[in-house]
């Protein structure tokens, strides 16, 4: 048996109130008034498809020191920050995977998450070890567009293998058809879309049922037996229409989280799947479909082992820890659609020495410190010499991962002097449980969230953006450990 052995998701903490968008644009686009309900997920300024992919993968993989079982990583997205530089390679470094892992970027259509999933199944079937499927999108839209309100940011991850399978792979159906409902040429940020009725009736309505029928036939499963049907779409009730057309019970249709998250693009089907798996019961059948340059459908049967896996946080928990954001200009600025005055400090050159970045990639991208085997002291960054009461020890440090460890704030400040995309700029010293200390930035914080002693965890984020050369630099930041009960429901004006 092979199939899904783990799952995880990532929904950014901020949830933009749609009412704020509609009200700000009412003078120009009054026709959007009907979309003023609920929220959509909104990435922080320091998040992109890579950082969200890492977050989802960590939710799936857990805090285990040993991730050597992962033999391939398939990253699906249509919004990857690099056209040339393996985006999945950055994800692998952040996850401290082995260098002989096969990492692949996939994209090109909204169904690429399921394409990645079927590719992962094929790898596992031929004995290629565990495959990690990650999907992530950080979508850009035009201000005052329907998409701005309908879309969301997010990521999801599935671990595929033949070990402790929690959802058995039963089959898939795929159609590759050059049906162009929307397109985006290289170098462009925003999609160009065709008429909705044509897309709905001639595209989704005709192509997706064929893929579903193939998947059901391959698995020998009748449509009415499906317990959970996942089909993300920004068209209202498209999932219900499809279910009816395919003979799937209406109760099986999975809520697409439009009210809280919006449609996150490529990852959305897997994000919904990750949430369904949190509550799925043994022997239930899950059908997942995606549309884009054709259609794809994948069918799973939940196994008795479903209770043996829990993501670190899970989608539901993250939905409960969101903070509502009412500041539309902040959203526009974070999406680089509103150029705010930066002052002279915003002119700083953020060039990255690529040779230095390569030499220290384990420390920078993997947050790997050095632990002295003699004294036990943890050094970040790792170095050849360790402290020992003034008598340095040479070459005694061994790699020591800090990313999955929690820490506590030793000292901090929040300043409004430097250029920062979300002031005030919070940073301070973090002492890690088990040793190690880093002077680092805090993210996803509002004023008052950080104090000495605050418990923090690590998140992989954008460190700097070199706009002169178009290079994004990544590092880790600290954020307060949050539980559903400890989270505020509304963001202050100063959420970073």
Question: Which positions touch other proteins (CB under 8 A)?
Answer: 343-345, 348, 350, 352-353, 356-357, 360, 363-364, 377-381, 383, 387, 410-418, 420, 424-425, 427-429, 431, 435-441, 451-453, 463-464, 473, 475-476
**Which CB atom, from 136 or from 377, has the smaller least distance to other proteins?**
377
Contacting residues for 495 by C-beta, under 8 A, at least 6 apart: 14, 323, 325, 330, 422, 444, 445, 446
Closest separation between CB of residue 431 and other proteins, Å? 5
Nearer to other proteins among residue 214 and residue 377 (C-beta): 377
Closest approach of other proteins to the CB of residue 437, in Å: 5
Q: Which is nearer to other proteins, 337 or 383 (CB)?
A: 383
C-alpha to C-alpha distance for 132 and 6, rounded to whole angstroms: 9
Contact 442, 475 (CB under 8 A): no
| Residue 338: φ, ψ to 5° | -135, 115
Structural tokens at position 301: 């049967």
Least CB distance from residue 4 to other proteins, whole Å? 35
Whichever of 83 and 353 has its CB closer to other proteins, that residue is 353
Q: Report, in Å, the least distance between residue 353 CB and other proteins.
A: 4
- DSSP 8-state assignment for residue 191: -
Q: 171 vs 436, which CB is nearer to other proteins? A: 436
> How far apart are alpha carbons 181 and 147 in whole angstroms?
14
Task: Quote the least distance from Cβ 383 to other proteins, whole Å.
Answer: 7
- Packed helices 205-219 and 238-246: angle between N→C axes, nearest 10 degrees: 50
d(C-alpha 287, C-alpha 306), whole Å? 16
Per the structure block, which two tokens stand in for 16?
Answer: 């933009």
What are the structure tokens assigned to 316, written together? 């539901």
Q: Pick from 496, 365, 368, 482: which is nearest to 432 by CA? A: 368
Work out whether strand 3-10 and strand 368-372 pair parallel, antiparallel, or are unpaired.
Answer: unpaired
Instruction: Name the CA radius of gyration of the chain, rounded.
Output: 23
Q: Is 341 exposed, middle or buried (0-12, 13-18, 19+ CB in 10 A)?
A: exposed
Shorter beta-carbon distance to other proteins: residue 76 or 378: 378
CA atoms within 13 A on the CB side of 385: 6
300 versus 412: smaller Cβ distance to other proteins? 412
Of the pair 247, 424, the CB lying nearest other proteins is at 424
């Amino acid at each position: 048996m092979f199939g899904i052995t783990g799952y995880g998701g990532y929904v950014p903490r901020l949830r933009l109130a749609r009412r704020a968008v509609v009200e700000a644009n009412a003078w120009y686009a009054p026709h959007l008034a009907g979309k003023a309900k609920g929220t959509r997920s909104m990435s922080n300024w320091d998040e992109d498809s890579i950082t969200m992919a890492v977050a989802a993968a960590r939710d799936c993989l857990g805090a285990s020191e040993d991730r050597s079982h992962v033999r391939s990583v398939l990253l699906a997205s249509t919004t990857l920050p690099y056209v040339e530089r393996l985006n999945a390679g950055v994800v692998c470094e952040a996850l401290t995977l082995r260098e002989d892992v096969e990492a692949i970027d996939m994209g090109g259509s909204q169904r690429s998450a399921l394409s990645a999933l079927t590719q992962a199944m094929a790898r596992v079937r031929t004995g290629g070890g565990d495959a990690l499927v990650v999907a992530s999108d950080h979508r850009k839209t035009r201000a005052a567009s329907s998409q701005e309100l309908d879309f969301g940011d997010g990521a999801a991850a599935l671990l595929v293998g033949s070990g402790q399978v929690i959802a058995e792979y039963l089959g898939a159906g795929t159609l590759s058809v050059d049906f162009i409902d929307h397109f985006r040429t290289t170098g462009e940020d925003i999609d160009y879309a065709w008429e909705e009725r044509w897309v709905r009736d001639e595209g989704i309505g005709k192509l997706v049922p064929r893929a579903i029928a193939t998947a059901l036939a391959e698995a020998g499963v009748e449509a009415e037996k499906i317990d959970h049907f996942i089909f993300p779409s920004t068209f209202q009730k498209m999932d219900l229409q499809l279910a009816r057309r395919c003979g799937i019970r209406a109760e099986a249709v999975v809520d697409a989280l439009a009210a809280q998250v919006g449609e996150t693009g490529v990852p959305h089907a897997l994000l919904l799947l990750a949430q369904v798996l949190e509550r799925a019961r043994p022997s239930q059948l899950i059908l997942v479909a995606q549309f884009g340059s054709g259609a794809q459908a994948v069918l799973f049967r939940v196994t008795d082992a479903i209770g043996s896996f829990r993501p670190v946080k899970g989608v539901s928990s993250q939905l409960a820890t969101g903070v509502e954001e009412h500041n539309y200009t902040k959203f526009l600025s974070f999406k680089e659609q509103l150029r705010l005055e930066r002052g002279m400090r915003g002119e700083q050159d953020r060039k990255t020495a690529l040779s230095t970045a390569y030499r220290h990639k384990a420390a920078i991208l993997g947050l790997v410190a050095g632990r002295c085997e003699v004294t036990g002291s943890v050094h970040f960054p790792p170095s050849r010499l360790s402290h020992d009461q003034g008598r340095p020890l040479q070459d005694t440090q061994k790699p020591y991962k800090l990313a999955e460890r929690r820490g506590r704030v030793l000292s901090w400040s929040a300043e409004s002097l430097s250029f920062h995309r979300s002031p005030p700029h919070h940073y301070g010293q973090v002492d890690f449980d088990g040793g190690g200390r880093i002077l680092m930035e805090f993210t996803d914080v509002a004023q008052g969230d950080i104090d000495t002693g605050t418990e923090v965890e690590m998140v992989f984020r954008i460190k700097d953006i070199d706009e002169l050369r178009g290079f994004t630099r990544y590092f880790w930041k600290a954020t307060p450990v949050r539980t559903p009960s400890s989270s505020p429901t509304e963001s202050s004006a100063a959420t970073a």
